[in-house]
Structure 1
């Protein structure tokens, strides 16, 4: 009977203490969060309840499993102890990642709620995301190393590995040159303010919004809901357009190729009516000017200011559509025409044309008679 009760008391007691600690910590965090609602840290820390309970329960079992005196423990005590040590290391790493994530996220939310510059908020968001990934990677590497060191064979190999660490480091650096380059490029992007999450960029002729930035790649969501995944080293080695840097306000331009008889003043007045009714116009500026001319057409440029790249695109499409419809209905002669038949000759060209044909026929007759009168050579 004692062999059955002892394991139940040890395991049941560990579970009971774990549940009580989890409930007490959660209750305390709820009370603090209710008293200080302006600080989101306490609410974020409540997400750490599960890894905290796993860590506490594993720690309690690691210190008391040998007290059960069960037959399984006596036969496989070292294996059970090593298994509990591995679980404890993994649970501690999980808890550390959750706590660091809660601290970083609460700091970001507190900053975002008080900041008034969207560009700065996106910059901090990018840095926060990469900091979380770096912390998770470091904690994961340390936890994996600690778990490997729990095996006795790895401890004996550790001395020889340290002796050859220099050569292995050089070999690994050469082999992972592109990976390390992307890693440092990601840190440079995060803290160099080159590109941020939410920025509107143009890369390789594709227009889209930066959706995700990691330590190795960057994802751009295009206007047609496609995702372009690119290495972060691309943004540190090649030029690209960042429409969100320096403010979101943009200037939209529309070019019209029209006939020389186009009424520019009426067209300018029509553009003013279109712009004033457009919700995409931010009220800063607009104009219409002739920027170029060719033998067959003139180039008219309409300019409209907008609040952001999306409104600039909408304004460009709206002005182009309504202006073409207005020209088609009221001034169709202003639209460029393509000649499909030969041009008509002026009236005075006909006699000259006939005289040229007469001279040609006379020369032909003269040349034929000349060849006819000359006797053949002997």
Structure 2
């Protein structure tokens, strides 16, 4: 009995010393390598448990005697299987973290990086689930009764599989949808989406649900199958830059060209505009009001929202201060007097209907005068013409 106790204590002590020494070496190497740092952080505890269980199993096999020995060996074997699965899952997590560390997402064009992050994150969860299932199966196979029942279970696997698939149809659908989302590139981590009239960022993607971090810090949780059945807007599918509109209903006397030039001055004075699109157009002229649409651009959705609010506030203040006659109003005077109102100017008549200048952009016409077209004239507008004119047509 004394020999068995000494063998048990000595083997456990040797295992602890070996794992501790290896851990110190790995931790020192981890100062210069992310891989070894991950090993020291994630694999130390499972490796320690595995080493102790191996030592215990060795001591039981060598020095233990008695009727309790088979039951003890069986229990230690089950614990060793579970600890080995824990260690294997930890090593997989370390490998995946090391891969993710090499892919930077803090750059301007990080679409590929976010796609890889999404795929690796889902693959990690799948591998952990597979390791857990295999460990559970290995534990069951250590029992003779479970091995005997395995034959009958395999014989009826088709029926059981059909019943299970029918019962868990929704769960399996979400799991398959999660895998499809990971590798179809329709949805990635940190993508900005509009779902159910809610605007937010994809915070997490699991095998069964997607977590969206909404703009007001709420969390919207949707099943993964939702994104395969329901249309949604992805604002960062190819790039994060976006266009936004600011619409104003004003009086017919509004000086459109002055408004156009004021918009450009306001955008150039701020830091939210990315310099791509600055367009003012009259999109409606029915009834008592004229609808003015200002189209602006920004590098991402958050800056675009702030830019639209700033532009709206600036234009409203500019109209109230400089052209109060252009504010919405209801006329009670006759048509001849209206045509000679304060908003009609000789310079507008010289330019043509609506005051638009149709001269091409060049030395005689500054860029601000071309801010009345979404398609064409500017470099970004020419690109948009090519995108929407079809593959067999070219912009003039």
Task: Give the TM-score category using the shorter length.
Answer: 0.7 to 0.9
Shift of 1:43: 1.9
* SS state at 2:220 partner: strand
* Match 1:62 to one of 42, 45, 57: 57
Equivalent residue for 2:143?
Answer: 151
Equivalent position of 2:384 in the other structure: none
CA distance in 1, matches of 2:334, 2:96: 81
Give the alignment partner of residue 176 of structure 1, picking from 168, 175, 189. Answer: 168
Q: 1:245 — aligned with what?
A: 237
Q: Secondary structure at the match of 1:74?
A: coil
Aligned partners of 1:282, 1:345: CA distance in 2, in Å? 45
Q: Secondary structure at the match of 1:112?
A: coil
Query: Counterpart in 1 of 2:300?
Result: 308
Q: Which residue of 1 aligns with 2:216?
A: 224
Question: Could you tell me which residue of structure 2 aligns to residue 103 of structure 1?
Answer: 95
Q: Which one has the bigger helix percentage?
A: 1
1:42 aligned to 16, 19, 36, which one?
A: 36
What is the CA-CA distance between 1:67 and the residue it aligns to?
4.5
Instruction: State the SS of the aligned residue for 2:246.
Output: strand
Q: Evaluate the alpha carbon distance shift between residue 114 and residue 224 of structure 1 in structure 2; reply closer, same or farther with a 3 A threshold.
A: closer
Measured after TM superposition, the shift of residue 235 of structure 1 is 1.0
Superposition pairs of residues 164-203 of structure 1, within 5 angstroms = 164-203=156-195
Identify which of 21, 34, 57 aligns with 1:24: 21
Equivalent pairs, count: 334
1:89 counterpart = 2:84: no
Give matches, 1:317-328, under 5 Å. Answer: 317-328=309-320
Structure 2 distance, partners of 1:29, 1:326, is: 66
Q: Distance in 2 between matches of 1:143 and 1:259?
A: 74
Contiguous gaps of at least 5 residues in structure 1 = 347-378
| Structure 1 position 76, deviation (Å) | 3.1
Name the CA distance, whole Å, in 2 between partners of 1:33 and 1:262.
67
Following TM superposition, by how much is the alpha carbon of 1:274 offset from its aligned partner in structure 2, in angstroms? 1.5
The whole-number CA distance in structure 1 between the counterparts of 2:180 and 2:105 is 26
TM-score normalized by the length of structure 2: 0.79
Which structure is larger by alpha-carbon Rg, 1 or 2? 1
Give the CA RMSD over aligned residues: 2.3
Q: Deviations over 1:260-318 (max 9, x none)?
A: 11122222222122211222111222121211111110111111111111111111111
Q: Distance in 1 between matches of 2:233 and 2:195?
A: 7
- Partners of 2:308 and 2:240 lie apart in 1 by 16
- Please give the secondary structure, in 2, of the residue aligned with 1:134: helix
Query: In the aligned structure 2, how far is the partner of 1:150 from the partner of 1:67?
Result: 21
Gaps of 5+ in 2: 336-396
**Offset of residue 338 of structure 1:** 6.0
TM superposition shift of 1:16? 1.6
Matches within 5 A, 1:131-142: 131-142=123-134
Helix, strand or coil at the partner of 1:247: coil
Deviation at residue 345 of structure 1 after TM alignment: 10
Q: Is 1:11 the equivalent of 2:5?
A: no
2:47 is equivalent to residue 52 of structure 1: yes
Superposed CA deviations along residues 242-269 of structure 1, whole A, max 9, x for unmatched, are 0001111111211111111112222222
Correspondence for 2:288: 296
Can you list the C-alpha shifts for 1:164-218, whole angstroms capped at 9, x where unaligned?
Answer: 1111111112222222211111111111101000000011111100000011111
Residue pair 1:291, 1:299 contacting (<8 A) in 2 also: yes
